[in-house]
Amino acid sequence: MAYVRVDDNEPLEKSIKKFKRMVEKEGIIREWKKREYFEKPSTIENRKKKAAARKQLKKVRKMHSMKSY
């Protein structure tokens, strides 16, 4: 069961966000996917390619920084 302890001086919005995260973490309620609309297959492919390129660039940067030691 998810519960959140709320402090007296804590804003209500912050405690609601905490509760929402806790509920999602425990799998009680899952949030809807952000893309609830139709996407063209080419758009999906381009988005995935860009994400892969960013991931690869990050990996290369990390490896490069490790070699400098």
pLDDT tens, N- to C-terminus, the chain (69 residues): 777 888 888 898 998 888 888 888 777 776 555 656 788 899 989 999 999 999 999 999 988 888 765
Structure token digits, residue 54: 């960013």
DSSP string computed for 8-34:
TTS-HHHHHHHHHHHHHHHTSSPPPPS
Q: How far apart are CA 34 and CA 21, in angstroms?
A: 16
pTM above 0.75, yes or no: no
Q: How far apart are CA 15 and CA 49, in angstroms?
A: 38
Q: How far apart are CA 36 and CA 29, in angstroms?
A: 17
